[in-house]
Amino acid sequence: MTAGGEVVVRLTGITKSFLGVPVLRGVDLELRAGEVHALMGENGAGKSTLLKVLAGVHRPDSGQVEVAGRPVVFSTPREAQEAGIAIIHQEFTLLEHRTVAENVYLGREPVRRGQVDRRKMEADTKELLDWLGEDGIDPAAPVSGLSVARKQVVEIVKALSTDAKVLAMDEPTAALADQEVELLYDLVDRLRARGIAILYVSHRMREVFDLSRRITVLKDGAFVTTAPTAELTSDQLVRHMVGRSLDALYPDRATEAELGDVRLALRGAGNDRVRGVTFELRSGEVVGIAGLQGSGRSAIARAIWGVEPFTTGTLELDGVPRRVTDPRAAVRLGIGYVTEDRKGEGLALRQSIRDNALLVRRAALPGSRGRKRSDLTALLESVAVVARGEHQEVRYLSGGNQQKVVLAKWLAVGPRVLVVDEPTRGIDVGAKQAVHRLLRELARTGVAVLMISSELPELIGMSDRILVVHEGAIAGELPAGASEEAVMGLATGHGIGEVA
């Protein structure tokens, strides 16, 4: 099957080095009108750099960029924009306190008689929103009041407003909840149908197989292959990306012998977000919490950790009733929490790996300061952080390595209960597996792990039991290896397996 549509963009033999380190070594890429083309590769494979070359942020050292058959050289993002190439970055590029229209036309505001033509700006934004079938968004409303999914729509409208023919989306679902991903699929489909070429960068296999017509794989900056999606299996794809096949995707579950006493017990716990939460968590166990975004699954985690504490019911830790009134109390009781917002809440980005890894220990357990340096080294080795050294600032690490530092931070205090919220969001396949293995090993040492994830395969693959949350209450419990349908059934308020 050859992809229809004419070739809009062709990159040939692109190379790029930073400080003598080659990041791209001869990459080819071809995008056709009305095609969704997936770009895959592990972190560090050069995907982001390739996007930036396409977007005019970086100039390639050699190789050629052609737009509509004509060779071009972009020296600024603006030139790429003018050639019809738009990028939707992984982090949102919206100004929270400005309106939708102001964001969409930022840098290109229409001017009439020396003034910004607000009316035209809002009318044009409205037109684009309508064109996409998103007429529920008010161009004059500030962005800060929009849901994440709607912010993404605004991002896309912003890209389209430049008359984009090519839309490159970098991890567009990283910040989205499950149900919002469906909306994005829908949107991508509409864009494709309107003849826009879409370059789709994602770590999520399922999305890539659902959406793309062709897949280009990069590994260590080199071009591996471009193949029609229909001719690839996910195994083959992983082999292309990693250069080996990932054996047994998830670590073995706990055996009955590995399960110990009840570590954490909640009985009828509730606050203004959740109610009647009752469950037990045993030592050595990984329990998954499933639920739609906003169902209260994160609220349970945050309540256990004392951010927004339970106001009713009881919480027992190793059989002793406790009141966890704030995170500090939680830490001192041996409860750790890996937040879903790694960059915002999990790490002090401008501080070193060392300072981050010791953050909790220094803050909450004074007196343990005298530990030896070798402890830290061993700790960082145990989570296998890849970095230049322990003094490197964490903001320069890849997502996977950052998450390992977050885990190290909690390992440093030897928690009894570890609550992890979206532990592998936005990290690549290899690092994902490392995190999974770490969590399982941790459980083997007697820690009780409570894991929230909106990636169902991960949740099902990792959990010894799954609790499903629906509208602030636990709707049911499923055994290891439950089907996705069963989980979704409970999560959407139907019975088990009642999904169309």
Partner 1 sequence: MSVVQQKIEVARGATGGRSRRFTFTPTVTVYLALVALLVVGSVLVGVQGGVLLDQGGILNILTRSTVLGLVAVGQTIVIVAGSLDLSVAYLVGLCSLVAAETMAGSDGMMVPGVLLALGVAAVVGLVNGLVVTVLKVNAFIATLGVALILRGYLEENYTGPAGSVPRAFQHLGFDRIGPVPVGVLLMLLVAAAAWWYLRRTRGGYHTYAVGGDVDVARLSGVRTGRTIVIAHVLCAVAAGLAGVFLASRLGSGAPYVGTDAGYDLESIAAVVLGGAALAGGRGGVVGTIGGVLILATLDTIFDDLAVDPFFKDVVRGVVLIVAVALYARRKVSRRSA
- Residues contacting 244, CB < 8 A, separation 6+: none
Q: Where are the alpha helices (DSSP H) in 229-346?
A: 234-242, 297-304, 327-333
Closest to partner 1 by CB, 149 or 449: 149
Decide: is 500 part of the binding site for partner 1 (CB under 8 A): yes
Per DSSP, the three-state class of 416 is coil
| Interface with partner 1 in residues 308-327 (CB under 8 A) | none
What angle in degrees, to the nearest 10, is found between the helix axes of 373-383 and 399-411? 130
- Residues contacting 149, CB < 8 A, separation 6+: 176, 177, 180, 183, 184
Decide: is 190 part of the binding site for partner 1 (CB under 8 A): no
Decide: is 483 part of the binding site for partner 1 (CB under 8 A): no
Decide: is 239 part of the binding site for partner 1 (CB under 8 A): no
> What is the SS3 string spanning 127-158?
HHHHHCCCCCCCCCCEHHHCCHHHHHHHHHHH
Closest to partner 1 by CB, 77 or 313: 77
Taking the complex as a whole, the smallest distance from the CB of residue 277 to partner 1 amounts, in Å, to: 20
Decide: is 150 part of the binding site for partner 1 (CB under 8 A): yes
Taking the complex as a whole, the smallest distance from the CB of residue 186 to partner 1 amounts, in Å, to: 8
Please give the Cα distance from 420 to 334 (Å, whole number). 14
Q: Which of 133, 145, 268, 481: binder of partner 1 (CB under 8 A)?
A: 145
Q: For residue 196, count CB atoms less than 10 angstroms from its CB and return exposed for 0-12, middle for 13-18, buried for 19 or more.
A: buried
Number of residues that bind partner 1 (CB under 8 A): 41
Q: What pairing do the DSSP bridges indicate for beta strands 335-338 and 262-270?
A: unpaired
Per DSSP, the three-state class of 237 is helix
Closest to partner 1 by CB, 107 or 367: 107
Decide: is 108 part of the binding site for partner 1 (CB under 8 A): yes
Q: Which of 20, 114, 367, 370: binder of partner 1 (CB under 8 A)?
A: 114
| Interface with partner 1 in residues 290-309 (CB under 8 A) | 292-294
Decide: is 94 part of the binding site for partner 1 (CB under 8 A): yes
Decide: is 273 part of the binding site for partner 1 (CB under 8 A): no
Q: Which two tokens stand for residue 186?
A: 């829908």
Decide: is 136 part of the binding site for partner 1 (CB under 8 A): yes
Binding interface with partner 1 (CB under 8 A): 76-78, 81, 89, 93-98, 102, 106-109, 111, 114-116, 136, 145-147, 149-150, 158, 177-180, 182-183, 292-294, 488, 492, 494, 499-500
